[in-house]
Structure 1
């Protein structure tokens, strides 16, 4: 069974290094969510009886998937899936805060300010040049990060929904949404809380 990458050390530099940020999210998703079927197959206990040659005389339907022991499923969710989701949620939350905070260390700030100054000094006469009114300033890195965070949150919701659908199919449908199951697990993780939430 795959293990997700460890929680990265969160800092503004980590968030602004979009390649590193995307690599963490991609590796975490590929090790758990993208390979959810393989991870769940690893939970199936092999047969205790020997191989039965008669089992090859009939074909199993294409959609056949063996139900997994509920305890093994619960253990997988609590020890692998939810911690992986929580690590990604913390990264997305932290980097979302960085994206909405002032960024005095932006190396492009001087260039952006210079572009704005030049735009204020420009003479715009669209009768002579219909394109003279166009101005496309360089984005601050916080704006680029905010856009990336919106995209990654949307991807995360899709990935979690698909993963949860596979888990519900293989482990037995609990009727809970992934959001509710995750919230219940997080509440149980808080110190001083019992399993029933008291």
Structure 2
């Protein structure tokens, strides 16, 4: 699969959002293709040695970050503009759309009647907590919009962590000094021109 294939946006519909497995799979695939393999993606941008292979370069293992090669700034910028930022934007668009779905009324909720029935039964219950202290507990079913809202909150937190980690490696290898938020916003502004 190419790197850009993971950044293609799915068709955004409420059904897509409410199918939490498909939503999670999309996010996971996009993250694994771009962010989880960021080191490999950045290494792929390095140009091979211009003077040929130097056998002494393998004599010692160099794990210190100061020995890591910097990537050509033009190649870095192209990677960020063509692969990284579009993937991040696509995921942001999906999360924003699904957040909107989660906060909208859901007339097609298949569990709506069941929840209303349970709620009516719960109001009619007579509870004697002396006989059964746990009988007063009632766990109403969560509306699918509430479940989706919780999922979106969690995924946004995950996205924040992943972007921070990815951008740390981009900073290191591409000699980038801005925050990921600022760099992404700059890219968005350039896209609108």
TM-score range normalised by the length of the shorter chain: over 0.9
The answer for the alignment partner of 2:4 in structure 1 is 3
2:115 pairs with 103, 112, 116, which one?
A: 112
The answer to whether structure 1 residue 54 and structure 2 residue 67 are counterparts is no
The CA deviation at 1:152 is 0.1
RCO higher in 1 or 2 (8 Å CA, sep ≥ 6)? 2
Instruction: Work out the CA distance in 2 between the residues paired with 1:53 and 1:179.
Output: 41
Name the TM-score, length of structure 2 as normaliser: 0.94
Partner in structure 1 of residue 37 of structure 2: 35
Equivalent residue number for residue 19 of structure 2: 17
> Where do residues 130-141 of structure 1 align in structure 2 (5 Å cutoff)?
130-141=133-144
C-alpha separation in 1, matches of 2:143 and 2:179: 37
SS at match of 1:126: coil
The residue number in structure 2 matching 1:196 is none
Q: Provide the rounded CA distance (Å) in 1 between the counterparts of 2:100 and 2:37.
A: 30
Alpha-carbon distance in 2 for matches of 1:33, 1:4: 14
What's 1:144 paired with? 147
Encode CA deviations 1:24-80: one digit per residue, 9 max, x unaligned: 000000000000000000000011222223333444344332100011101100010
Give the direction of change, closer, same or farther, for the CA distance of 1:58–1:145 in structure 2 (3 Å limit): closer
Cα deviation, 1:8-29, whole Å, max 9, x if unaligned, reads 0000000000010000000000
Structure 1 residue 73 and structure 2 residue 82: aligned? Answer: no
Runs of 4+ in structure 1 off by over 4 angstroms are none
Matched with 2:171 is 168
Aligned residues: CA RMSD = 1.3
SS at match of 1:143: helix
Aligned length: 190
> 1:128-187, CA deviations, whole angstroms, 9 ceiling, x for partnerless residues?
22122111011110110000000000000000000000000000032x110011011101
5+ residue gaps, structure 2, are none
Partner of 1:179: 181
Displacement, 1:2? 3.1
Once the two structures are superposed, what CA deviation does each residue of 1:86-145 show, in whole Å capped at 9, x if it has no partner?
000000000001001110000111111110010011002212221221110111101100
